[in-house]
Homo-oligomer: A and B are copies of this chain.
Amino acid sequence: MKNEASIVDVARAAGVSIATVSNVINGKGRVSATTKQKIERIIGELGYTPNLTARNLKTNRSDLIGLVVPTMQPGRLQDNPFYWDLLAGVEEGARDRRFHIILAGIDERTETFSFVKERRLDGLIVVGTNEGSQAVGRILELGLPTVFIDSYLSDPNLMQVYLEDRNGSYLATNYLIKQGHGRIALLIGDIPLENISYYGVLHERWLGYKDALAEAGIPYDPRTMIKLPTSLEGGYRAADQLIDMDDVTAIFSFSDVSAMGLLKRLRERGKEVPRDYSVIGFDNLFMSEYTSPSLTTIAQDILTKGREAVHLLLDQIDGSPITNRRIAMPVDLIVRQTTGPCRTKS
């Protein structure tokens, strides 16, 4: 492995000063067409590549943004294909602007974010924290451009990308109502319902559910709330609770994976979907079309979400004027086979 050529080597070979070479590399200053061509030729011949480390030391930027994801422990994120899509979107958006992504799995309780200062990161994208999480405070102290995804933080100055959660939930619930379902269970997550406003995403979706009920004149019944995790296993266990409920003929679950768990257990218990129960999920994961029966769900475009987040961040880093500090991504109802008209047993 030979030593890399430096800007000095290029300058010497071209018979010019390093300042001129620098100008050519960065397209700054005034350089005559001939010297420019010559320098470019020599750069090619020498296989010269600018050393970003040196440039960054000088400019005090890193062209690096950190993607912060809460503890990548097995079991926690493992069952969520969601993150890969998000990451793909972020990476792609950053690449277009010559930034790179540093991935940082963090433990919310102990992480000090020292790497952010050490590496002079230019910005941060933070996924799925909640207001009051210890991490949020420490992140804000860094004083770095930051975009939060799916976090619903109340401070209006923070930049956030989230979903039309409330609307999505309304769409799902409303569709079930239009199919004749009067009592609709909600698999809402493993949280105390009295504190639901603390959990931004869940809260919004819960409101959307209630919006649809209210519009149809259906009373809200807290007993149809199922407080289990929106994971595969949570959905699986939720099915048993669902079956025990009186007159409930439909369930809306806040994730596709939990809807899959539901389908599994309902089948085991001899229930047929959508004859006995209508089921609707949230996310539209790639495999949701391939469950049996295929899953009706609220679709979100996770890839685009990642892309939007990184654009928002880069605009801020570059000092472009920010028009919106918050972006709500659209959702869409995808009707497939797990939902159907209500046929109440006589």
Contacts and interface: CB of A to CB of B under 8 A. Distances in A.
A342 interface: no
Nearest to A143: B1
A52 B114 CA distance: 11
Nearest to A106: B95
Contacts of A268: 292
Interface stretch (A13-21, A96-104, A124-132, A244-252): A96-104
B119 A100 contact: yes
Interface in A31-62: 49-54, 56-57, 62
A120 B56 contact: no
A88 interface: yes
Given A72-B88, A232-B287, A102 B105 contact: no
Given A290-B261, A292-B292, A105 B95 contact: yes
* Of A105, A114, A236, A260, most B-chain CB atoms within 10 Å: A105
Nearest to A304: B74
26 contacts: A49-B117, A49-B118, A50-B118, A51-B118, A52-B118, A53-B56, A53-B57, A74-B303, A77-B88, A78-B85, A78-B286, A79-B286, A81-B84, A83-B84, A87-B103, A88-B105, A100-B102, A100-B104, A102-B102, A103-B103, A232-B286, A236-B290, A260-B290, A263-B292, A264-B291, A267-B292
Interface of A: 1, 4, 49-54, 56-57, 62, 64, 72, 74, 77-81, 83-85, 87-88, 91-92, 95, 100-105, 114-115, 117-120, 143, 232, 236, 257, 260-261, 263-264, 267-268, 286-287, 289-292, 294, 303
A133 to B, nearest CB: 20
A84 to B, nearest CB: 4
Copies in the complex: 2
Output the residue of A77, A78, A294, A303 with the most chain B CB within 10 A: A78
A117 to B, nearest CB: 4
A268 B119 CA distance: 54
A260 B292 CA distance: 10
A292 to B, nearest CB: 5
Given A80-B84, A95-B105, A264-B290, 20 more contacts: A49-B114, A49-B118, A51-B57, A51-B118, A53-B56, A53-B120, A72-B91, A72-B92, A77-B84, A78-B84, A78-B85, A79-B286, A83-B84, A91-B103, A91-B104, A236-B290, A257-B287, A263-B292, A264-B291, A267-B292
A68 to B, nearest CB: 12
A253 to B, nearest CB: 13
A215 to B, nearest CB: 34
